[in-house]
Amino acid sequence: MIKNGTSQTDKKNTNKYDWLKVKRFFLGMQGKDGFLLKFIVYGLLITIGFVYLYPLIYMGSYSLKSLDDLLNPLVNWVPTGWYIENYTRAMQVLDFWPTLLQTLYVTVLPALVQTAVAGVIGYGFARFQFPLKKTLFVLVLATFIIPPQVLMIPRYVFFNELGILGNIQSFLLPALFGQGLNSAIFILIFYQFFKMIPQSLEEAAQLDGAGYLRIFATIAIPMAGPAIIISFLFSFVWYWNETSLAAIYFGNSLTTLPLELNRFVATYEQMYAGNLGTSESTINEGINMAGTMLSIIPLLIVYFLTQRWFVEGVDRSGITGE
């Protein structure tokens, strides 16, 4: 009887132990994630990653296809060979290198100015008390709600009277006064970041005789590295992708890769209009995809070079409140 009771108890303990092992494997225990949670998380990450990567994979594949591969229904994702001629023609149509230099010129400078001005404004709202501070802060944030199309015509008339149309000043002037592309977001990022810096550091610097400008330059700016990085990168990308304002303000004086991509088909047909009856006379999907890839490759290079700082900036300068 004792042996039977002992064996039944051991059997129950074994079954309980096996159940705990199964539960630990699927549901997790003591702070460890189970298989089900990992499966759901990784499944979502793979799905989201595929949604974002699919257009790039599609463009990269079709940009390397020759006309025969495009017409062959058996060739789907992997081309029979790397047809670089698509990129050669696309670079000629885009006038790639001069256009790239102009694009960097009209994006990097406004992004730098916008980041610097947003940092100063954000620090002022975070550290100083002055009349109508809350009202002014709300008005600054309200500029993000107003669609840029509403202000497009009044700004065009204003810039025309100032005589700054057709040059980079039409981008620099709004950025200099905190009215650049989505400047309110960057001001809010800097405001939240500077609010998180302990005031005891600045008070100690004031006891040592440092003024506000020196405190801002030697304490606030070095500690705001993540906010500076994230603001500059977002500003750079937004100025890069801006086509409507660039087309209106710059006219024919300046151009960018996204602008040239908008008129890519028309430019191609003009360049190859004399080659009637040949495969070069009409544009195909491979050449279109090559032109699109060329317009986004610089952004991809910037992202891969600054990925670590970009992720750190998003993590540390998120708009989370204090």
238-286 pLDDT, tens per residue? 999 999 899 999 988 999 999 999 999 889 988 876 665 565 667 889 9
| CATH code, domain carrying 159 | 1.10.3720.10
In terms of residue numbers, what domain contains 59? 2-83
Q: Which two tokens stand for residue 194?
A: 């500077």
Same domain, 15 and 113: no
280 located within any domain: no
Chosen domain end from 35, 60, 83: 83
Q: Which two tokens stand for residue 16?
A: 């309980």
170 and 159 Cβ atoms separated by less than 8 Å: yes
Same domain, 167 and 34: no
Chosen domain end from 83, 109, 126: 83
Same domain, 207 and 111: yes
Chosen domain end from 83, 103, 134: 83
For a pLDDT cut of 70, what percent of the chain falls above it?
83
CA 227 to chain centre: 14
The confidence score (pLDDT) of residue 321 equals 39
31 located within any domain: yes
Same domain, 60 and 115: no
Tell me how many domains the chain contains.
2
Using CA atoms, how far apart are residues 255 and 252, in angstroms rounded to an integer? 7
Using CA atoms, how far apart are residues 215 and 317, in angstroms rounded to an integer? 20
Same domain, 164 and 230: yes
227 located within any domain: yes
Query: What letter represents residue 252's amino acid?
Result: N
The mean pLDDT of 75-95, rounded to a whole number, is 90
Same domain, 139 and 67: no
Where residue 79 falls (left for φ over 0; alpha for ψ -120 to 50; beta otherwise) is beta
Residue 140's Cβ-count burial label (10 Å; 0-12, 13-18, 19+) is buried
CA 62 to chain centre: 24
The confidence score (pLDDT) of residue 4 equals 54
Confidence of residue 319 (pLDDT cuts 50, 70, 90): very low
Same domain, 206 and 99: yes
Same domain, 111 and 251: yes
Q: Around Cβ 162, how many Cβ atoms within 10 Å?
A: 11
Place of tokens 């602008």: 259
